[in-house]
């Protein structure tokens, strides 16, 4: 189903929302933009052409990875639900960048043989980020400067590294936070129960663990050079015959370096503080 058809079959909100897009102005705000909105799973979301195109782009994932499509849309909607629940927060977010950074954050999981996003040697997060940036650039939009592109790139590459984000820009942080709402655990108080319910009803997660396990195993099979020394290593070690040793690049480099260093600098004093 084309996205336009999908949209027209849903209740379309006519109101615009204030979010932050550089170079456009929103009434009452010098930095915000008046953005078109619509509702998905009863969550108000930003609805620019770029966002519509991103949602249409990931439709290609549906036939063989429906769990992935649902995971991507849920990540976006969880973030949007948290913003709708806090106007102060919402006004400080680049809602269009957030939509792209969540909807496209796992392009590198695409298991189709002809996937345009699958490299042989990069981690899937980087494949995904490069794919998302390329997708935006192809639209030739004048309000997408290098800073916005980099926020999307960073939000996607850092998706699994929530503990590394202190001091990072709020837009990249919220792309990662929105993906983290997908992690198992209790519901987050920043999202209303009724929003959780409507998102999970429309985009169920009932095969997400099986799908993720299979995708990670496939990544280890299809590009061990892009999984070694990442957390996907564990899936290669566990499930892929012949995958070989789990990577321990930094450990190997440093411990081997210690022996060389002692040989080269036998007279230096090193005081252990352990």
Ligand X SMILES: *[C@@H]1O[C@H](CO)[C@@H](O)[C@H](O)[C@H]1NC(C)=O
Residue ranges that bind ligand X, judged by CB under 6 A: 86, 88-89, 138-140, 182, 184, 200, 205, 213-214, 217, 239, 266-267
Q: How far is the CB of 8 from ligand X (least distance, A)?
A: 23
Angle between helices 124-137 and 49-57 (to 10 degrees): 140
Q: Which is nearer to ligand X, 184 or 242 (CB)?
A: 184
How far is residue 213's CA from residue 65's CA, in Å, rounded to a whole number?
A: 12
- Going across the sheet that includes 32-40, the strands are 16-20, 32-40, 43-46
Q: Which is nearer to ligand X, 42 or 126 (CB)?
A: 42
Q: Which is nearer to ligand X, 117 or 243 (CB)?
A: 243
How far is residue 62's CA from residue 149's CA, in Å, rounded to a whole number?
A: 26
Q: How far is the CB of 205 from ligand X (least distance, A)?
A: 4
How far is residue 134's CA from residue 153's CA, in Å, rounded to a whole number?
A: 10
Q: Which is nearer to ligand X, 252 or 261 (CB)?
A: 261
* DSSP result, 70-115: HHHHHHHHHHHHHHHT-HHHHHTS-HHHHHHHHHTTTGGG--STT-
First vs last C-alpha separation in the chain: 62
Q: Which is nearer to ligand X, 11 or 263 (CB)?
A: 263
Q: How far is the CB of 82 from ligand X (least distance, A)?
A: 9
Q: How far is the CB of 35 from ligand X (least distance, A)?
A: 19
Q: How far is the CB of 9 from ligand X (least distance, A)?
A: 23
């Amino acid at each position: 189903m084309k996205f336009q058809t999908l949209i027209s079959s849903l209740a379309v909100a006519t109101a615009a929302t204030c979010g932050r897009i550089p170079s456009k102005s929103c009434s009452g705000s010098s930095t915000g933009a008046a953005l078109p909105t619509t509702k998905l799973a009863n969550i108000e979301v930003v609805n620019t052409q770029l966002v519509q195109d991103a949602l249409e782009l990931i439709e290609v994932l549906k036939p063989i990875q429906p769990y992935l499509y649902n995971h991507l849309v849920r990540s976006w909607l969880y973030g949007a639900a948290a913003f709708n629940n806090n106007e102060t927060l919402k006004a400080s977010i680049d809602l269009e960048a957030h939509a792209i950074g969540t909807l496209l954050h796992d392009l590198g999981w695409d298991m189709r043989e002809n996937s345009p996003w699958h490299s042989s040697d990069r981690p899937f997060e980087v494949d995904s980020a490069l794919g998302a940036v390329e997708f935006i650039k192809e639209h030739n939009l004048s309000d997408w400067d290098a800073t916005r592109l980099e926020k999307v790139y960073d939000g996607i590459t850092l998706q699994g590294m929530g503990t590394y984000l202190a001091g990072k820009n709020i837009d990249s942080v919220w792309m990662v936070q929105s993906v983290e709402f997908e992690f198992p655990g209790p519901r987050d108080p920043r999202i209303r129960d009724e929003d959780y319910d409507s998102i999970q009803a429309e985009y169920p997660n009932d095969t997400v663990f099986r799908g993720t396990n299979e995708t990670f195993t496939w990544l280890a099979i299809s590009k061990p050079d892009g999984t070694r020394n990442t957390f996907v290593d564990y899936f290669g070690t566990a499930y892929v015959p012949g995958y070989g040793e789990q990577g321990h690049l930094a450990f190997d480099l440093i411990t081997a370096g210690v022996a060389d260093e002692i040989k080269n600098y036998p007279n230096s004093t090193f005081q252990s503080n352990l």
